[in-house]
A and B are shown apart, each in its own frame.
Chain A
Amino acid sequence: MPSLLFCGPKLAACGIVLSIWGVIMLVMLGIFFSAHSAVLIEDVPFTEDDMLNDKNPPQAIYALYNQVGYNCFIAAAIYLVVGGISLCQVRLNKRNEYMVH
């Protein structure tokens, strides 16, 4: 079986740190978007149309909020996968380190 190792120990460690940060931050962002937090209003892609011509205010804005929230959760899931890969790389690197000597 060919070696699955494709990055060195430092890159793998960076990957793990970045993944942990990404997962935590994106999950929290997702939660806050789903809770329709007012502080995040600038980050929601609304238009003038949504504001003024809403049949059932504020559901249009809420729908946009939820959409961005789902985006964040999906990105968090991707980061979980990246974290898993980085963890494997770290383990493989450690094993190689022990085997050479």
Chain B
Amino acid sequence: MGSPFRSEEMCLAQLFLQSGSAYDCISELGELALVEFRDLNPTVSSFQRKFVGEIKRCEEMERILGYLLREIRKANIPVPEAEVRPLAPQPRHVLEIREQLQRLEVELREVATNKEKLQKNLLELTEYTHMLKVTHTFVKRNAEREPLGPQYEEFPSLEKDSVTGYTSMQRLGAKLGFISGLIPRVKVEAFERLLWRVCKGYMILSCSEMEDSLKDPVTGESTETVVFLISFWGDQIGQKVQKICQSYHCHLYPHPESDEERCDVMESLATRIQDLHTVLSRTEEYLRQVLNKASESVYTWAIQVQKMKAIYHTLNMCSFDVTNKCLIAEVWCPVSALTTLRGALEEGSRKSGAVVPSFVNRIPCSETPPTLLHTNKFTSGFQNIVDAYGVGSYREVNPAPYTVITFPFLFAVMFGDMGHGAVMTVFALWMLVQEKSPTVKCHRNEIWRILFEGRYIILMMGFFSMYTGLIYNDCFSKSLNIFGSSWSVRAMFTQGPWMNKTLHTNSLLTLDPNITGVFGGPYPVGIDPIWNLASNRLTFLNSYKMKMSIILGVCHMTFGVILGVFNHIYFRRKFALFLLFLPELLFLLCLFGYLVFMVVYKWLAFSARDSWLAPSILVHFISMFLMQGQALEPLYPGQTGLQVFLLLVAFLSIPVLLLGKPLYLYWLHQGGRSLGVYRGYERVRRGSEDDMSVMRDHDAEEGGVHSDPASRETQPEFDLGEVVLHQSIHTMEYCLGCISNSASYLRLWALSLAHAQLSEVLWSMVMRPALRLDSGTATFLLVPVLGVFATLTVTILLLMEGLSAFLHALRLHWVEFQNKFYSGAGIKFVPFSFSLLPSVLEQDSFLSD
């Protein structure tokens, strides 16, 4: 496997695939995830490509599979996922799968239509039953009391004593008709009004609402319906009423003439409904059986179809050679994987039984290859956060292995709390233990997935936070007294001026370290726990953390500049070592390295005894720039001279940085001899933005050695103006960046201060009142208070502060660290791999219509 420090060497290769074995070879390559295919037919539309017919067939099968999956999901049947993913099917197996799928589809659709029809029938019968029951009450009601309908002058009111109140009508010689049915409630008023207007009062409409609303089988929604009974007399009125009813889409049912008829009809309806229920339940059982059987193999089929489609897409990217018997594919392949590639092609040829084997041919390329970096599950998280800023240029130094340590460390400097670090570590460990569990791995929630992907990052951050928590001596805002505090209050009484009276009269007391016995030397590991009780705690910690931030920042940036050396050496830019790296390093170290030196010197040279003499470093630093060192007490002898020297070196390195490289390249261009011994020609892959200078460099070297006037004409364009512009931008960026980036590292102090203060506030406002309560119920109050404390710790301190510290540490890496050496202008290598295809059961194309 390749080294994580630099991306893999890639080559462009041509695969010559026999038509018969092309499918199998590509299937093998998909399983191995070795190579990235280049599209050789970019101008051809997808409908004109060679294998468009096969892809259409695949899509047809996908459609059927989607329908199957939807039906299976609707019936709440779980789809078992196989442990081993099946291979892409041979073309002869594909026919079988297609047949099965088509058969299943036809069957399912048939059963579904039947079920719908039966349900519709059931609905009608149920409605009829209801209607009969309700109209029965109408008629009874009409017979029992005053008629509901409007009184008409022409016709006397209906007699009360007869059960069927229309006998009096019949005496008049008119034939009374009835129409009964159901209508949705929303249409009732309009219906009634229309009937009234059209029939001019020759009809009576009685309606009553149905209590239970019926479900419409097709749409599945339930509407409130009203049962109505229209009594009219006259044939013409009857026809008009019929037409109106039809236009309102009412469900009309024949009204029985007499009671016996009504009872008969109701009985027959009841039996028919029961029969229908039985048939429906049998149909549903059968449907479930079919779906159950299908669900066993639907997963396998879906994956096979997906793989097949991917293979055909890839085949579409290949071109045919002149004899039309052989497919040519161009792939990007890591050089170290060429043998595996050959093996895969042999395997594919063997599987398809081809006589002529397929083979690989490496070809030279002029484009920049994509960047490939091998990662395992531990480093992949860190590589992802580096790639999020920019994928490394081809064969450039990879900052990810260093990020594994520096990123969690800088996070921890901002987060430093042992308790919070412990909770974070436990959380990360739990995720690691659950790594293999599928519910945790393939959770639907997006945010959870992101947290899970970064479990190793969180683990490292937790470990380092526990370490920095130990150094800051901070655990849920309380300090741990592990080694015994080095400060002794008793010595202030025995050796010093304190007495009992001092304690009573003063609210603030100062422990004087100059008195013997008060300060017993520095605490072994971390900050002394007595500082937790001190009121000048922040003054001390601020000074400490600010200086620490600057030191860490300068070290981080110097490391970044030094990493650039590896790039210069690899890309054979010897001149860059002297003209770029050296001035950059000198500028950084002479100014900010000196600041770090002053900080450390002050820490070491001044003790408690002469602390009142210690000068302010900031004042000295500023006066160094203003060259007014004479007015101040020197930190050490010879300070002014050294400072002037350092300032001179730093300021001289600026013009070297600005003009060195352009002048050197110009001189080479004019035929001068290059630096360093010329070692031998080797074609160098283009990589960073300095690739143009590399090409020129090499051609210039060639021209220099041969000193052939003819070769001078073959040199590429050298634009002095462009190089000068580029270099001046780089110089300005670097020099101003040094200053601003150093100050930027002060965020390490700012965030750790914020975290410590938030933690303290949380304790004093939540836990302290509960602990200080001096009553009997205090114990039981402590239980919910701790719950609130835990919840607030997790949400505010772990999630919010954690996210904030994560982002700031990330920014420090991306901007302050990486812009010293990283160009990040590459393309990521995406191999043709079946495992990179989206998960079948969640794919949109399967689940949508």
Contact = CB atoms under 8 A, between A and B. Distances in A.
Interface of A: 18, 21-22, 25-26, 37-45, 52, 68, 70-72, 74-75, 78-79, 82, 101
A45 B768 CA distance: 9
22 contacts: A21-B423, A22-B783, A22-B786, A22-B790, A26-B782, A26-B786, A39-B478, A39-B481, A39-B533, A40-B478, A43-B772, A44-B771, A44-B772, A45-B772, A45-B773, A45-B774, A52-B504, A70-B779, A72-B771, A75-B779, A78-B783, A79-B786
B533 A18 contact: no
Given A26-B786, A44-B772, 10 more contacts: A21-B786, A22-B787, A38-B533, A39-B532, A40-B478, A45-B771, A71-B771, A72-B771, A72-B782, A79-B783
B503 to A, nearest CB: 9
B198 interface: no
Report the contact-size class of chain B (Cβ under 8 Å from the partner). Answer: 20 to 34
A96 to B, nearest CB: 16
- Secondary structure of the A contact surface, majority rule: helix
B783 A39 contact: no
A70 B529 CA distance: 24
B151 interface: no
Residue with the highest number of chain A CB atoms closer than 10 Å, among B423, B481, B532, B783: B783
Contacts of A72: 771, 782
B270 interface: no
Nearest to A25: B786
A25 B779 CA distance: 15
Nearest to B772: A45
Contacts of A52: 504
A72 B770 CA distance: 10
Contacts of A44: 771-772
Interface string B418-460: 0000010000000000000000000000000000000000000
Contacts of A45: 771-774
Interface string B754-788: 00000000001001100111100011101100110
B657 to A, nearest CB: 52
B779 A74 contact: yes
Given A18-B787, A18-B790, A37-B481, A43 B768 contact: yes
B398 interface: no
A83 B340 CA distance: 55
B465 interface: no
A77 to B, nearest CB: 10
Contacts of A37: 481
Interface string B254-273: 00000000000000000000
B443 to A, nearest CB: 13
A42 B765 CA distance: 12
A52 B505 CA distance: 12
Nearest to B787: A18
B779 to A, nearest CB: 5
B780 A78 contact: yes
Top 6 nearest A-B pairs (CB, nearest first) are A75-B782, A43-B771, A45-B772, A45-B774, A74-B779, A71-B779
A74 B779 CA distance: 7
B180 interface: no
Contact of A75 (B423, B481, B786): B786
A52 B78 CA distance: 73
A51 B774 CA distance: 16
Contacts of B393: none
Nearest to B427: A17
Nearest to A24: B422
Nearest to A68: B771
B479 interface: yes
Contact of B529 (A26, A39, A75): A39
Contacts of A71: 771, 778-779, 782
Contacts of A82: 783
A39 B479 contact: yes
Contacts of B423: 21
B769 to A, nearest CB: 9
Contacts of A38: 481, 533
Contacts of B764: 42
A60 to B, nearest CB: 13
B461 to A, nearest CB: 19
A72 B772 CA distance: 12
A37 B120 CA distance: 79
A72 B767 CA distance: 11
A42 B479 contact: no
Interface in B126-141: none
